[in-house]
């Protein structure tokens, strides 16, 4: 796992987000960072307006604002928390020393790409483990070791791996 020893403050996170995504909006109010930006997972994908809210000590909370996430055959997309918030990482995987511009935003793009594939095919190709599978929803229970291996293979996460 990519544990760091120093939590980045909100101003540092905002600076990284602003530099990497200059067309997005970053705001800090009452010890909470809010990022609103557009994410296009692939050249053939839709563009999504996404909001990320983050408080130190918690993992980033991510919601797609538009277009609204669609259901397929009456089922909501996999890997969503209540309120249609995206499930991007395993419990304990997020670390406050990680740069959201280099992790969370690319993870959002990856989730959205798998969402688009799921909409077209009905198959969630992103793997993962989700703790709150509801009846009738297919669980994708990759092992924790497989998920760690897959996360480590992401090029944008390379700088967050222990050396």
- The pLDDT tens digits for 8-53 are 999 999 999 999 999 999 999 999 999 999 999 999 999 999 999 9
> b or e along 58-91 (b: 16 or more beta carbons within 10 Å of the residue's beta carbon)?
ebbbbbbeeeebeeeeeeebbbbeeeeebbbbbe
- The pLDDT tens digits for 79-109 are 999 999 999 988 888 999 999 999 999 999 9
CA proximity to 140, closest of 82, 87, 84: 87
Burial bucket for residue 120 (CB in 10 Å: 0-12, 13-18, 19+): exposed
Cα–Cα separations (whole angstroms), residue 148 to 23, 48, 49, 133: 32, 27, 28, 21
DSSP 39-77: E--STTS--EEEEEEE-TTS--EEEEEESPPPPBTTBPP
Side-chain-side CA neighbours of residue 150 (13 Å): 17
CATH of span 10-158: 3.10.110
Check if the beta carbon of residue 64 is closer than 8 Å to that of residue 45: no
CA proximity to 111, closest of 157, 65, 79, 146: 79
**What ranges do the domains of the chain cover?**
10-158
pTM: 0.78
Which two tokens mark 82?
Answer: 């209540």
Q: CA–CA separation, 105 vs 112, rounded Å?
A: 11
Q: What mean pLDDT value characterizes the chain?
A: 83
Which two tokens mark 47?
Answer: 């563009």
């Amino acid at each position: 796992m990519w544990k760091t020893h120093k939590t980045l403050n909100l101003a540092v996170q905002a600076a990284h987000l602003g530099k990497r995504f200059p067309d997005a909006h970053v705001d800090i109010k009452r010890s909470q960072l809010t990022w609103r930006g557009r994410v296009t997972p692939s050249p053939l994908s839709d563009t999504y307006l996404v909001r990320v809210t983050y408080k130190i000590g918690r993992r980033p909370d991510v919601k797609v604002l538009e277009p609204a996430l669609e259901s397929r055959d009456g089922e909501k997309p996999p890997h969503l928390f209540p309120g249609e918030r995206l499930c991007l990482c395993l419990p304990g995987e997020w670390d406050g020393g990680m740069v959201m511009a280099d992790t969370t935003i690319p993870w959002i793009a990856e989730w959205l790409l798998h969402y688009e594939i799921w909409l077209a095919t009905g198959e969630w190709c992103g793997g993962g483990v989700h703790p709150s599978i509801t009846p009738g929803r297919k669980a994708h229970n990759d092992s924790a070791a497989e998920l760690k291996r897959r996360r480590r293979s992401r090029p944008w996460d390379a700088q967050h791996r222990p050396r």
